[in-house]
Structure 1
Amino acid sequence: MKFVKMEGLGNDYLFLNCLEGEPPELPRLAKTLSDRHFGVGADGLICVKPGQAGDFTMEMYNADGSRGAMCGNGIRCLGKFVYDSGLTRKCCLTIQTDAGPRGLELSVRNGRVAEVTVDMGQAQIDEEVYCQTAAGAFWVTPVEVGNPHGVVFCPEWTEEETARVGPLLEHCPRLGRRRNIEFLTVEDREHLTVRVWERGSGVTLACGTGACASFAAARRRDLCGPKAQVHLPGGSLRVEERENRLFMTGPAHTVFRGETDFLWHSETEN
């Protein structure tokens, strides 16, 4: 089975070309291949399938095998994957996701995609929710950007704190359902710093939808302007609001192409 490993700001995914068929048991396959010790290692698996209402369809699985509706870094990598693999010559694409269609603008340099802008649509923001956890009490702003997020405004935040508090807030009953959690520090009106806990994957170096959710929460409080750099541990994204829609721009890179005769590990069969 051939695959391509790609990353956007260190948020890495394994891509499969499923235009002419797909392997069985994709959730189980995602969990096995994403394992960083016994598999290839990734934050998840993304299958590129034929487009129904667009050019291609993105089917995304988290590292634990759960289905993801949308992934900002993953969809940028998908744009690079289909163009650099010769599956399209178009620089403006519509990708069908479980969260609906998303438009991509590919920036091509020397015949390869270097950067991708994604039309992320409108963010839906609810009132803050008070969550009491074993690590303390937090006010969380629920934001939907094709998938569910919870944004916490805070001072400087560490990876250790993210790993400790993130899973507690992910499962906070008052948020209604499992959410990705972002810890947001507003540096100034043009610069935001975010750390991410992703449901199904844990602490990650970046999250495109999380960056957009954090930007939207800051905009609602008038803490940033219509454009901002969102700084994550893996790098920075540019997020912009145009006519109530969010546009995210950032890089995408191919790590390597590989092939595996993978076997189910006993750990995944229990």
Structure 2
Amino acid sequence: MPLSFTKMHGLGNDFVVLEAINAPIELTPAQARRIADRRFGVGCDQILIVGPPRAGNADFSYRILNADGSESGQCGNGARCFVRYVRETGLTDKKAVVVDIRDGQMTLEALDDDTFSVALGVPAFAPADVPLAGFAAARRYTLDDVPGGPVMFAAVSFGNPHAVLDVADIDTAPVATLGPALESHRVFPERVNVGFRQIVARDHIRLRVFERGAGETLACGSGAAAAVVTAIAAGTLDRDVRVDLAGGTARVVWDGPGTPAYLIGPAERVFDGRLAVAG
């Protein structure tokens, strides 16, 4: 079946965007993997599907498929691309839109033509909410049976699970070995995104993220938020933090427990096209 698509990226975290407002699009995991393949398809970290709202107060709904065909509940960089897409394609003229996602809703806002803010929701730290199995609630957790263990990490969910480790230098962090080992570790029943955080100052971090279902990406928006809020909760960062990722710089703002975290940064439209998806 032929599909029209738009290729976009947020700080190098790239997406194929499909519009399914009037005609539903259901992709099998194999079809999603084919689209995401960088040799045989368009190539992307995730596929974003723009759909009609499911709730009366929403403007749209939003599905995220990872490069391996699995579904994700949240993507901060993708959300910024989403709001740019619906405004530039004439689907809405609102500056702020409410979007139904898999596990709730989020509000997306255009601050100007190139900068967008995403309300990622209130971070969930309880192990059952991450989910993280076999631990009582704590600021940090320890695993022994991983490469280079023991490893200490913080855990949080923004509708998708995150583990965050502190490293002295992200350039030499063991992302390629420890990332996949933690992503699929048994204590994470839904797998996990793994962030490697280097704290530069109280308002500045550097970050690399090994994303579940995608591997290391140039940027991960919810991963940036996870790295910031877990450090704010531990008292090591201030409320407004610059996050340097391989693909560029974002900001995360969080006022503490019970309040939503905000991710602020750019989104870019790269090109439009049509693709053939085998049945």
What is the CA–CA distance in structure 1 between the aligned matches of 2:28 and 2:81, rounded to whole Å? Answer: 19
Q: Equivalent pairs: percent with the same residue?
A: 34
Q: How many Å apart are 1:261 and its aligned residue?
A: 2.3
Q: How many Å apart are 1:133 and its aligned residue?
A: 0.8
Aligned residue for 2:202?
Answer: 189
Cα RMSD of the aligned pairs, angstroms, is 1.6
Is there any run of 5+ residues in structure 1 with no aligned partner, and where? 265-270
The answer to whether structure 1 residue 19 and structure 2 residue 17 are counterparts is no
What is the CA–CA distance in structure 2 between the aligned matches of 1:136 and 1:144, rounded to whole Å? Answer: 23
1:118-171 deviations in Å (ceiling 9; x for gaps):
111111224222122134321121111121000111110237721221000112
What is the CA–CA distance in structure 1 between the aligned matches of 2:152 and 2:12, rounded to whole Å? Answer: 28
1:249-269 deviations in Å (ceiling 9; x for gaps):
1100001101122447xxxxx
Paired residue secondary structure (1:210): helix
Contact 1:99 1:147 in 2 (8 A): no
Aligned residue for 2:110?
Answer: 106
1:159-202 deviations in Å (ceiling 9; x for gaps):
77212210001122234441000001110001011100000000
What is the CA–CA distance in structure 2 between the aligned matches of 1:260 and 1:227, rounded to whole Å? Answer: 41
The answer to whether structure 1 residue 91 and structure 2 residue 95 are counterparts is yes
Aligned residue for 2:85?
Answer: 81
1:117 is aligned with what amino acid? S
Contact 2:120 2:263 in 1 (8 A): yes
The answer to whether structure 1 residue 155 and structure 2 residue 129 are counterparts is no
Aligned residue for 1:247?
Answer: 262
What is the CA–CA distance in structure 2 between the aligned matches of 1:240 and 1:160, rounded to whole Å? Answer: 25
What TM-score do you get using the length of structure 2 for normalisation?
0.89
Equivalent pairs, count? 260
2:40 is aligned with what amino acid? F
What is the CA–CA distance in structure 1 between the aligned matches of 2:228 and 2:245, rounded to whole Å? Answer: 12
1:2 is aligned with what amino acid? S
1:52 is aligned with what amino acid? R
Aligned residue for 1:268?
Answer: none
Tell me which protein shows more strand as a share of its residues: 1
1:205-259 deviations in Å (ceiling 9; x for gaps):
0001000000011101111111110111111111111362211111000011011
Aligned residue for 1:258?
Answer: 273
Aligned residue for 2:141?
Answer: 129
**Map of 1:206-221 to 2, 5 A cutoff?**
206-221=219-234
Paired residue secondary structure (2:231): helix
1:61-111 deviations in Å (ceiling 9; x for gaps):
000000000110001100000000000001111011113110111123xxx
